[in-house]
Structure 1
Amino acid sequence: MVEISSELRLVAACVRPRADERRLDAIRDAASAYFDAQQVVTLAHRHRVEGFVEQGLAAAGVALPSAAATRLATSAAAARLKTLRSAGEEVRVGQAFAAAGIDAIFIKGATLGMRAHGTTALKTSWDVDVLVARDRLDAAGAVLRDLSYRLCVLGGIEDPVKVRRYLAANKEAEWRHAERDTVVELHTELADNNVAIPTIGLNSPRETVELVPGGSLATLATAPLFAYLCYHGTSHLWARLKWVADVTALLRGQDIMRLHDQAVALGAGRTSAVAILLAHELLGLDVPTPLLEHLRHDRAIQRLLRYSVAAIVAEQDERGRLARPFRELLAYTRAQAWLVPGSTHRSGAIRRFLTRPYLPHHLAVPHWAVPGVILGGLPIRLLLRPLRLQRER
């Protein structure tokens, strides 16, 4: 078991799948040790699992002090409202895309909550992730504009040339509805690196999820969905426990070894191994011993696992950003090269790092000149980041 605080251990016990017969005992066991109740609520919000924690503590008969309990109830109610609003937007956007003849697959969000947990009320979903073909990007953008969404690119740039350069260099772009306070993340690819999960997309097997009566949306079938979630989670070093909870719930009752093999075949590389180990060590998922021994043998997997735990326990600032120190930022950047074995993926990760627009002024120069701009300014920004975070605390 990885070393975590008593507060995070309690939160992790609460986000175990509800069908896990050991969940309530795990919650009671974690609650038997001393813990800071206010910190538990802070961590529940930090990992976007307020609903899991509120429901889990109530089911296990664990009562928090009144101040912490009130804070948790308020936070969980706000999270449920936001998730319900996001689920409604998924249906509205899906129906609008269908009316416009745009093929779309919804990833994560409310469809995943329903698939993995049987409800949308437990974890917070703040955006709607939808995949469309790149050649339908303009049409999808027109539909979103008709729905009163506006493109959010690096602080809200509007220049058409900069917008095209941004969309050419990124697999997704955020669209925000100011009045509804909802975000649609429009994807044309599911991975930044074209070596990873290359075949997962609009041609992958699908399943249909009903969010509301008469409101069904297409999402990925279990195998490609698992592979995608593993790559997405590990590329972000599993910084939110809700991602581990999703994978754990999806794996429960499945042939884990078979799904792992399928994920590797689909191009998820080492990320499936990291997901399975985290689900086992943090959320108590039963994993066949031969598979555990095999996964733990890979030193790169162990390195990614350590980096992921460091991201999971990292603090968060008042604006919701992970307050990673300079050392952890370097670890995050290095980890991108190890997600999938092989020099092709590694070189793709380096190329992505050098050509991705990080600031609006990067989009004012030709694409071929972006690496020079980034290499010139990035070291200075990285060195100044710890000082900036310290000032903001």
Structure 2
Amino acid sequence: MRGKPPSQHLQMLSPEMRLVTACSRWPATPERDAAVRAAAIAVDWALFDKLIARHRVLGLAYAALSSAGVALPETLARSLMTRVGQIAGQNRVLAMESARLQFMLDAAGIPSLLVKGAPLAQLVYGSQALKHAKDIDLLVRPADLAAALALVRADGYQLWLPARELSERQLGDVMRHSRDIALVDRKRRVQLELHWGLTDNPRMLPGLNATAASQTVMLGPDGPSVRTLGPDDLFAYLCVHGAAHGWIRLKWLADVAALAGQGAQGEIDRLYRAAAANGVGECAAQALLLAGMLLELPLPPALAEELRASRRVRKLVAVALDIMAGPGAEREIAHRRFGQARLIRARFLLSRDWRDLGVNIIAHMTALDDVLAIPLPSRLHLLYPVLRVPLWIGRRVGAVGRGRKEEGVQ
């Protein structure tokens, strides 16, 4: 079967990025395989390898290329097979550890939900082998954070970010200005992000917490069952997460497309309406249009026309396309020209009004390093955004001074 000509948006991509997007379509169909074969002609395989690694879609790419019967250069084929095997092995470790942690919190009477990760992989791909995961995201109620933190630390996890130790006051300050902390278990080789919130803006997904509507997912035929966000909240959160990070990874969009594409076209419309009712309609509109352009998600025509009618949504889509698939897309955004500025623009474009803009400015201009280094009374916390620039300059000057001192000692 010959693949149909690539859409106008796909034609604007590099040949290598077109192949990456074709490989990231799900589910596997004869049409998807034909698109992969058509896109695999005359590509720079070294550049393709960099792109799938940067976008973290190695599992999807390897499965799609194998299904389509594409002959890879021998070195790349061996390397991909090795890395995909390693990812699948780590995913199994993370899946079992996710279940163990949730069971442990259940036993302590602490409600929790797993976010993304193993349950999402099982829901959208039916396997732990395809989705590239790097950590476990576990959501608890703010009131339960201290107890949950003490429990996982007693179990072997160590604080990692924003600091190796946190006093009770510092933990309270971090909770005020952030929504998660990172821990590591070096023995198990697992990174855990313990969340008490999922968005920086309380007007987005209000009421979404560890006791929200959930769904139970079995992690494989003989695996344990875990709880994750309910269908509507899961779709909405994935859209918000991708938008807030400028859609720098295609894997996030692949997850959204695979999840939304499981039902009839009417289900896509329903998911969008539910997201809009939850305050994140533009995030969902951006995600759906991107998925239609890059991953051939079949959007209901009336819905697609409605979404494209918004000038703001069109701008959000254009900014995300540049970040995700524009020139230099094989490099991390921090290493691309004006990369940080692009991310800031993508985030601030999500502001629907002055209230959202204020929340975004405060969140962006408040550094946890400053909050921890210079504790201020609660009523003075609004000074942190004002202090950020002089404190940053002070840290840079101090680092330069320490470097010169060390050079003099050598």
Q: Give the TM-score, by structure 1 length.
A: 0.89
Identity of aligned residues (%): 33
| Counterparts of 2:281 and 2:160, CA distance in 1 | 31
Residue aligned with 1:199, SS: coil
| Counterparts of 2:187 and 2:329, CA distance in 1 | 31
| Counterparts of 1:378 and 1:299, CA distance in 2 | 36
Residue aligned with 2:281, SS: coil
Aligned to 1:386: none
Identify if the C-alpha distance between structure 1 residues 286 and 21 changes in structure 2 by more than 3 Å, giving closer, same or farther: farther
Aligned to 1:54: 62
Aligned to 1:7: 16
Counterparts of 1:249-260 in structure 2, within 5 Å, are: 249-252=258-261, 253-254=263-264, 255-260=267-272
Which of 277, 282, 292 is the equivalent residue of 2:304?
292
Counterparts of 1:172-191 in structure 2, within 5 Å, are: 172-191=180-199
Identify if the C-alpha distance between structure 1 residues 145 and 215 changes in structure 2 by more than 3 Å, giving closer, same or farther: same
Q: How many residues align?
A: 377
Aligned to 2:350: 339
Which of 298, 302, 323 is the equivalent residue of 2:334?
323
Point out where structure 1 has 5 or more consecutive residues left out of the alignment.
383-393
Q: Give the TM-score, by structure 2 length.
A: 0.86
| Counterparts of 1:76 and 1:163, CA distance in 2 | 38
Which of 224, 231, 235 is the equivalent residue of 1:215?
224
Identify if the C-alpha distance between structure 1 residues 274 and 380 changes in structure 2 by more than 3 Å, giving closer, same or farther: farther
| Counterparts of 1:256 and 1:129, CA distance in 2 | 26
| Counterparts of 1:166 and 1:306, CA distance in 2 | 34
1:286-311: CA deviation from partner (whole Å, max 9, x where unpaired):
11222222212222212211221222
1:83-140: CA deviation from partner (whole Å, max 9, x where unpaired):
1111121011111111111100111001100011111110111111111000000111
| Counterparts of 2:361 and 2:348, CA distance in 1 | 7
Aligned to 1:156: 164
Which of 89, 96, 119 is the equivalent residue of 2:97?
89
Identify if the C-alpha distance between structure 1 residues 312 and 341 changes in structure 2 by more than 3 Å, giving closer, same or farther: same
Task: Quote the offset at 1:16 in angstroms.
Answer: 0.6
The letter of the residue matching 2:387 is V
Identify if the C-alpha distance between structure 1 residues 45 and 178 changes in structure 2 by more than 3 Å, giving closer, same or farther: same
Q: Does residue 74 of the first structure (1) align with residue 88 of the second (2)?
A: no
Which of 353, 359, 364 is the equivalent residue of 1:348?
359
Task: Quote the offset at 1:214 in angstroms.
Answer: 5.6
Task: Quote the offset at 1:21 in angstroms.
Answer: 4.4
Q: Does residue 224 of the first structure (1) align with residue 233 of the second (2)?
A: yes
* Contact 1:231–1:339, Cα closer than 8 Å, also in 2: no
Point out where structure 2 has 5 or more consecutive residues left out of the alignment.
1-8, 397-410
| Counterparts of 2:133 and 2:60, CA distance in 1 | 13
Aligned to 1:373: 387
* Contact 1:196–1:269, Cα closer than 8 Å, also in 2: no
Aligned to 2:40: 31
* Contact 1:200–1:266, Cα closer than 8 Å, also in 2: no
Task: Quote the offset at 1:162 in angstroms.
Answer: 3.6
1:271-291: CA deviation from partner (whole Å, max 9, x where unpaired):
001100111011111112222
Which of 277, 282, 286 is the equivalent residue of 2:289?
277
What root-mean-square deviation, in Å, do the aligned CA atoms of Structure 1 and Structure 2 show? 2.2
The letter of the residue matching 1:233 is G
| Counterparts of 1:105 and 1:4, CA distance in 2 | 38
Which structure's CA Rg is the greater one? 2
Identify if the C-alpha distance between structure 1 residues 24 and 214 changes in structure 2 by more than 3 Å, giving closer, same or farther: closer
* Contact 1:157–1:360, Cα closer than 8 Å, also in 2: no
Which of 257, 271, 295 is the equivalent residue of 1:248?
257
